[in-house]
Amino acid sequence: METELKERITLDYNLSFSSPGGKNAGLPFLAIAELKRERHSGQSSFGIIMKQIGVHPNGFSKYCMGSVLTREVPRKNTLKPNILLINKIENEYNKSTAT
């Protein structure tokens, strides 16, 4: 019996955010892969490959990150690990593109 895995992968890149107050922020160095699949659909080929190359799942809300980057958000400590990760990725990107 052949089983068909039902999954969908979306890639978001070159993200930009703006607030009603006019502040803008961009993440041109970041790509977000989102894997959506049916519950109990077994192992994902995409997920296995990503783990093999050292990319592990991380919770990430584009809306929340856009808000933190463009507004004064009083409780951003819960997003601090993601902010630090974005800063690390940006620093690595800048080092690789510096001439």
**E strand intervals along 38-74:** none
pLDDT tens digits along 60-83: 899 989 988 998 877 778 888 999
Task: Average the pLDDT over each of 17-21, 23-27, 56-60 and give the range with the smallest value.
Answer: 56-60
Distance CA(96)–CA(99), nearest Å, equals: 8
List, for residues 25-45, the tens digit of each pLDDT value: 999 999 999 988 877 666 788
How many Cβ atoms from other residues are within 10 Å of residue 53's Cβ?
Answer: 6
Mean of pLDDT values over 76-94: 90
Residues in the chain: 99
DSSP-derived letter for residue 78 is: G
What pLDDT, on a 0 to 100 scale, did the predictor assign at position 89? 92
3-state secondary structure of 99: coil
| Dist. CA 43–CA 48, nearest whole Å | 7
Token pair recorded at residue 12: 């978001």
